[in-house]
Amino acid sequence: MANHLNDNELIRQLSNKDKNALYAIYDKYSGALYGVILRMCRNEAAAQDLLQETFIKIWQKIDSYDSTKGKFYTWAYRIAKNTTLNALRKPELLIQSEDLSVHTNKTEEEILPDYTELSGAIKKLEPHHQEAISLVYFRGYTHREAYIEMGVPLGTFKSYIRQALNLLRDSYKNELIVFWFCIEILA
Amino acid sequence: MVLYRNFGMMDRKKILDEGLLEKYLLDELNTSDRSLVEHAIKNDKEVKKKFSELEEDFEKMAFENAIIPPSTVKAELKTKLEETKVRQLSYRPLLVAASISILFLASSIWMYTEWQKTQKEFEVLQNQTTDLKERLNSLEENYVLTNTRLKTIDGENIIPLLLKGNELSPNSRAIAYINHEKKIVVVNSEGLPKLPEDKTYQMWSDVNGEMIDMGVLKTSEKLITLKYIDKAESLNITIEPEGGNDHPTVENLISYVTL
């Protein structure tokens, strides 16, 4: 809750064009957003440029953020995703990344697992649940693209997502209970 | 409130069953579905709760999978933000200067065209003034001329004499105005018939039986000033060869009047 209030305060300062507020927001969210951007474009140099572009857009567009419509991270995630998708649609970047994947096949094999491998609660899910969530949340696929990518019917894909989200919910709830339990014991 | 009542179970079921919240979170919805979901989040507690949970899980998952970017990205972001500020600062006076010079240019062009217009109008006016001056001058001259003519034929000491044509030229009429005091003779020869080009009318004064030349009468002029001859007893008009004669051709006498 304190964290949430802190966010609101930072966003208020950001609206007043306080650069330090942007740097504080960067410190908090850049890792999460970079994780998404890098998994989407799989090119470190391009991902770093896109991360920077994302934060410049956050700086410029902060007035259009409406907290009643959702959390700040959701809003920032959409900017990062759309910025990356737009860049991937540009042919020069596609060619570049294709070239890179051909030339640096060896290094890619070393680095790629780092890009795509997921950790945390999602790691505990079944592989098909992991893949479904990974495609839409981390790889920038729409539902319609993702079910084709997975090679399952749309209905099946939707239920994968549903099941995965429910399992994640249970996992985080249990974490919270364990957390409270620890706090209680410590107290 | 009305909108909230209109939002029914069907909408909630559609949003939850079709996974619209997930799609909304991922920005995959069309405009109408998006506004339906946004309305539901604002007005339906159950939908709001579901979406908050989804957002929380989504954010937690993102943080669990965060990759720390190299510090160069933040440094570059800082440079870029400072740069735009510096640029803004340095561009502003340039923009102001540019707009001022555009304004100045526009007003200069406008003033130049106005000046050109005025110049032309001034030239027209000047021409008109010159024209008017000329007309005034000629009117003045005409007036002076008419006035002097009037003075010569209209006054206390002026005697007008009518010279009627004889049987040789019965339609001839001429009027002589004589001022003995100023010794002036003026003749209006308008009433004399036109002559062939090699002939002219000439006037003579009779002094003791001798005819003395007074001058040639042109039919084209209204008032002709002739020589005043002292002690003239009569005025006579003859037809003579072009340029006038030294002695009158008595057979060609067409009119005379005694004084």
For the record, the structure tokens of B222 come out as: 């209204």
Minimum distance, in Å, between the CA of residue A165 and any CA atom of chain B: 8
**φ and ψ at A79, to 5 degrees?**
-60, -45
What is the arithmetic mean of pLDDT over B122-141?
89
Residue A28: what pLDDT?
A: 92
pLDDT at B86: 54
Q: Are residues A60 and A3 in the same domain?
A: yes
Chain A: residue whose CA lies nearest to B52: A70
Domain check: are A82 and A174 in the same one?
Answer: no
pLDDT tier for residue B171 given thresholds of 50, 70 and 90: confident
CB pairs under 8 A between A and B: 120
Sheet order of strands, B199-207 included: B210-217, B199-207, B234-241, B253-258
More confident residue, A173 or B133: B133
Position B252, amino acid: N
B-chain CB neighbours of A78 within 8 Å are: 26-27
Nearest CA in chain A to B27: A78
| A124 in the same domain as A183 | yes
pLDDT at residue B3 tops 70: no
Regarding whether A70 and A38 lie in a shared domain, the answer is yes
Chain B residues whose CB is inside 8 A of the A172 CB are 56-57, 60
CA distances for A113 relative to A118, B31, B244, angstroms:
9, 37, 138
> At B36, which helix (H) or strand (E)?
helix B31-43
Distance, in Å, from the CA atom of B255 to the CA atom of B235, rounded to the nearest integer, reads 8
Q: Which residues of B touch A22 (CB under 8 A)?
A: 81
What would the pLDDT profile of B201-239 be if each residue is shown by its tens digit? Answer: 999 999 998 999 999 988 777 788 888 998 889 999 999
Q: Where among A62, A95, A117 does a domain terminate?
A: A117
* Residues B135-168: tens digit of each pLDDT: 988 888 888 877 777 777 777 788 888 999 988 8
% of chain B residues with pLDDT over 70: 93
Distance (Å, rounded) from C-alpha B185 to C-alpha B159? 10
Contact A74 B55 (CB under 8 A): yes
Same domain, A102 and A124: no
Whether residues A37 and A76 fall in one domain: yes
Q: Tokens 């003995």, residue?
A: B180
A31 and B67 within 8 Å at the Cβ level: the answer is yes
Residue of B nearest to A33 (CA): B66
Of the partner residues A35, A74, A77, the one whose CB lies closest to the CB of residue B65:
A35
Cα distance from A102 to chain B (closest Cα, Å)? 24
Pick the range with the lowest mean pLDDT from B2-16, B105-119, B236-250. Answer: B2-16
Chain A residue numbers touching B77 (CB-CB < 8 A): 26, 52, 55-56
* Per-chain mean pLDDT for chain B: 86
What CATH number should be reported for the domain holding residue A156? 1.10.10.10
Q: What is the pTM of this model?
A: 0.56
Q: Are residues A152 and A101 in the same domain?
A: no
A51 and B72 within 8 Å at the Cβ level: the answer is: no
Residues A80 and A11 in one domain: yes
Q: How far apart are CA B229 and CA B213, in angstroms?
A: 9
Predicted pLDDT of residue B146: 78
Of A69, A92, A117, which residue is a domain's last?
A117
Selection from B234, B240, B198, B233 nearest residue B217 by Cα: B240
Distance from CA of A177 to the nearest CA of B (A): 15
Question: DSSP assignment of A51-75, as one string?
Answer: HHHHHHHHHHHGGG--GGG--HHHH
- Residues A110 and A142 reside in one and the same domain: no
Is the domain of A106 the same as that of A132? no
Which one of B43, B65, B68, B81 makes the best mutation probe of the A interface by having the most chain A beta carbons within 10 Å? B65
The alpha carbon of residue A104 and the mean position of all alpha carbons in its chain are separated, in whole angstroms, by 25
Distance CA B203, CA B146 (A): 24
CB contact under 8 A, A142 and B28: yes
Range of the domain at A52: 1-117
Among A63, A98, A117, the domain-final residue is A117
Give the CATH number, domain containing residue A91.
1.10.1740.10
Assess whether A158 and A110 both reside in one domain.
no
Among candidates B22, B78, B80 on the partner chain, residue whose Cβ is nearest the Cβ of A161: B22
First to last CA, chain B: 129
Which of A32, A68, A168 is closest, CB to CB, to B66?
A32
Q: How much is the pLDDT for A115?
A: 62
Residues B164, B173 contacting (CB under 8 angstroms): yes
* Number of domains forming the structure of chain A: 2
Q: B79 vs chain A: nearest CA distance in angstroms? A: 11
Q: How far is B94 from chain A (nearest CA, A)?
A: 23
**Test the B interface: residue of A14, A68, A69 with most B CBs within 10 Å:** A69
Is a pLDDT exceeding 80 seen at residue B250?
Answer: yes
How close, in Å, is residue B83 to chain A by CA atoms?
12
> Do B27 and A82 make contact, defined as CB atoms within 8 angstroms?
yes
DSSP assignment of B87-152:
HHHHHHHHHHHHHHHHHHHHHHHHHHHHHHHHHHHHHHHHHHHHHHHHHHHHHHHHHHHHHHHHHH
Q: Are A99 and A181 in the same domain?
A: no
Low-confidence ranges of chain A (pLDDT < 70): 1-5, 91-116, 186-187
CA nearest to A65, candidates A25, A23, A24: A25
DSSP state of B242: T
Residue A67: the pLDDT is 87
Q: What is the mean pLDDT of residues B38-60?
A: 90
Interface probe with B: pick from A165, A171, A173, A175, most Cβ of B within 10 Å: A165
Rg of chain B, C-alpha, whole Å = 58
Task: Say yes or no to pLDDT of B94 above 50.
Answer: yes
Shortest distance, CA B120 to any CA of chain A (angstroms) = 56
H-helix segments, chain A: 2-15, 19-41, 44-61, 72-89, 91-103, 105-116, 127-133, 143-150, 154-186
